[in-house]
């Protein structure tokens, strides 16, 4: 095979133009790899009339993504739209035996199985480094650098928007709603931030990591997911008092042939590495059987960090094709030992509970009895007289490890007590 590969780009927005910029101005690390020669053949854009500067030949542009896939001079399709049609374009490219690079996490998290099977059946590869934590080479590290390890656990801060909001709340810069609004006004947060604040964006990324790390077949929807919408300033203050910081954590563990995967707010020790990942930064802490703990950190979104990951996949694909190597990904992510994601009910963890309770004898005893009947052991109790709210006081209980199912049963009972006002707040704790 010649050292040149025809590239078709679907999507020429922020990331697409970043990819073209990196290809046109390749750093010496790329130029010194003698096999690298990409030839941009076709680019599908949403608006043909939009000005693109002088660096792109207008003849390459089309408004029809299917034309890019069908173009016989295109051997590698780079899909960067996140559009509804993406699944069809990517499937068709794979069916034609063309390699695909994509940053489309929703597509991979929910329908990855179909696409990887299609890739394998047609001798093509589907690469997706940019779909998780953008420029952090976590997928490549799991596939290559850590290949000699059994991955025991992954703890990630995989969403920059929520980490930015929680970091600012921790610095006392406002409440959840104010900071979210400010982030939207400044363009840091999406105008519809639901996927981010609900944890779904992180859940989709975690499902993709679980596929690589554990051969898990689970989708983003199989990952237990709770967002940060209910975190209040007082939770952050209590966490600080207990020596913790609140983060939106994506957690996956492999134990006894089971894979657990969950995304939720969690208290992490203030001196842990993940507690010190601030603002829009992402991080992933991997526990490997041979290497022990490793932490990868960096920008998990943005034009050039995402483009960096896309180009790294393109380079790997080209080098594999030039070397006459077969496909790399299908065999890695599919296979007999594939396991489903287990329900969160059986997972054991520690909990922080906060309730507003009547300041009268026996209240603590009744709550403690409910916990004890569910075999949940109390680690510490905090109640402050100074916080008296008209006859009620905030009561904080930290538990030892208990199953989620037992905790939910206990919570349901505690909430029915007439001495407990409103909902009981629950925040999970992870001693990293």
Under the rule (CB under 6 A), what is the footprint of ligand HSE? 159-161, 196, 201, 300-301
DSSP-assigned beta bridge partners for residue 100:
77, 126
Residue number, 41 or 159, with CB nearest to ligand HSE: 159
End-to-end Cα distance, the chain: 48
Identify which of 194, 255, 254 has the alpha carbon closest to the alpha carbon of residue 225: 194
DSSP-assigned beta bridge partners for residue 43:
9, 61
Task: State how far the Cα of 62 lies from the Cα of 58, in Å rounded to an integer.
Answer: 9
CB 255, min distance to ligand HSE, A: 28
CB 173, min distance to ligand HSE, A: 18
CB 207, min distance to ligand HSE, A: 13
Question: Residue 329: CB partners within 8 Å, gap ≥ 6?
Answer: 116, 119, 125, 126, 127
Distances (CA, A) of 254 to 19, 52, 216: 35, 47, 10
Return the sign of the alpha-carbon dihedral for residues 137, 166, 83, 23: negative
Identify which of 214, 217, 272 has the alpha carbon closest to the alpha carbon of residue 245: 272
Identify which of 32, 251, 291 has the alpha carbon closest to the alpha carbon of residue 145: 291
346-368 burial by CB neighbour count: b if 16+ within 10 A, else e?
A: ebebbbbbbbbbbeeeebeeebe
CB 307, min distance to ligand HSE, A: 13
Residue number, 161 or 285, with CB nearest to ligand HSE: 161
CB 196, min distance to ligand HSE, A: 5
Residue number, 134 or 363, with CB nearest to ligand HSE: 134
Residue number, 288 or 300, with CB nearest to ligand HSE: 300
Task: Establish whether 205 is a catalytic residue.
Answer: yes
Catalytic residue from among 205, 247, 253, 425: 205
Q: Could you give the strand order of the β-sheet that contains 99-102, starting from the edge strand earlier in sequence?
A: 61-62, 38-44, 5-10, 76-79, 99-102, 126-127
CB 105, min distance to ligand HSE, A: 6
Residue number, 141 or 161, with CB nearest to ligand HSE: 161
Stated as kind and residue range, the H or E segment containing 276 is: none
Residue number, 68 or 165, with CB nearest to ligand HSE: 165
Name the residues annotated as catalytic: 205
């Amino acid at each position: 095979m010649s050292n040149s590969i025809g590239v078709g780009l679907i999507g020429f927005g922020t990331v697409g133009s970043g990819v073209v910029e990196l290809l046109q101005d390749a750093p010496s690390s790329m130029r010194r790899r003698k096999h690298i020669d990409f030839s941009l053949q076709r680019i599908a854009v949403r608006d043909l009339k939009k000005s693109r500067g002088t660096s792109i030949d207008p003849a390459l542009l089309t408004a029809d993504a299917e034309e890019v896939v069908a173009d016989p001079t295109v051997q590698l399709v780079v899909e960067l739209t996140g559009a509804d049609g993406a699944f069809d374009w990517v499937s068709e490219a794979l069916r034609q035996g063309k390699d695909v690079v994509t940053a489309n996490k929703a597509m991979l998290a929910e329908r990855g199985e179909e696409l990887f099977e299609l890739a394998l059946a047609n001798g093509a590869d589907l690469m997706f480094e940019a779909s998780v934590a953008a420029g952090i080479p976590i997928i490549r590290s799991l596939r290559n650098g850590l290949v000699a390890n059994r991955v025991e656990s992954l703890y990630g801060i995989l969403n920059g928007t929520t980490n930015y909001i929680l970091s600012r709340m921790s610095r006392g810069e406002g409440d959840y709603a104010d900071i979210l609004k400010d982030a939207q006004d400044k363009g840091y947060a999406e105008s519809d931030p639901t996927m981010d604040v609900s944890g779904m964006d992180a859940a989709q990324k975690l499902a993709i990591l679980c596929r690589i790390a554990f051969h898990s077949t689970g989708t983003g929807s199989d990952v237990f997911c709770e967002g940060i919408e209910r975190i209040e300033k007082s939770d952050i203050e209590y966490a600080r008092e207990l020596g913790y910081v609140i983060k939106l954590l994506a957690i996956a563990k492999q134990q006894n042939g089971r894979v657990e995967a969950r995304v939720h707010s969690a208290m992490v020790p203030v001196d842990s590495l993940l507690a010190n990942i601030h603002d829009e930064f992402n991080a992933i802490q991997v526990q490997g059987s041979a290497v022990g703990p490793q932490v990868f950190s960096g920008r998990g979104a943005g034009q050039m960090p995402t483009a960096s990951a896309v180009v790294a996949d393109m380079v790997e694909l080209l080098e594999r094709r030039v070397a006459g190597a077969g496909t790399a990904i299908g065999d890695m992510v599919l296979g007999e030992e594939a396991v489903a994601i287990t329900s969160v009910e059986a997972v054991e963890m520690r909990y922080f509970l906060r309730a507003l309770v009547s300041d009268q004898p026996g209240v603590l005893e009744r709550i403690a009895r409910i916990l004890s009947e569910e075999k949940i052991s109390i680690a510490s109790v905090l109640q402050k007289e100074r916080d008296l709210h008209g006859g009620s006081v905030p009561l904080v209980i930290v538990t030892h490890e208990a199953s989620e199912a037992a905790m939910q049963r206990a919570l349901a009972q505690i909430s029915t007590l007439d001495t407990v006002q409103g909902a009981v707040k629950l925040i999970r704790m992870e001693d990293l």
